[in-house]
Amino acid sequence: MRKSYNYRYALEEIGSELILYLAVPLNTYNDFLTKPFIKTIIQRSQINLIIYDVETEEIIQWQI
């Protein structure tokens, strides 16, 4: 997640209005990112997620 900060700041620096998303495999999301403390960090940090299924290569959810 730290790298996403660098990308976000770089986009802001050049004046880009692109929205940055962090792509996360579904199993990682379910095992780690759903924990209350981690969810709070994601919300406070305003990290947008794309949750995808590795096997089917499908996007499961866009989380803004």
**β partners of residue 62:** 50
Neighbours of 63 (CB within 10 A): 16
Which domain covers residue 56, as residue numbers?
20-64
Residues 49-58 have pLDDT tens digits of 999 999 999 9
Are 52 and 23 within 8 A, CB to CB? yes
Neighbours of 54 (CB within 10 A): 10
Residues 1-44 have pLDDT tens digits of 667 778 888 888 999 988 899 999 999 999 999 999 999 999 99
Number of domains in the chain: 1
**Residue 14 counted as domain residue:** no
**Residue 5 counted as domain residue:** no
**Residue 31 counted as domain residue:** yes
The pLDDT value recorded for residue 1 is 62
The pLDDT value recorded for residue 44 is 94
**Residue 39 counted as domain residue:** yes
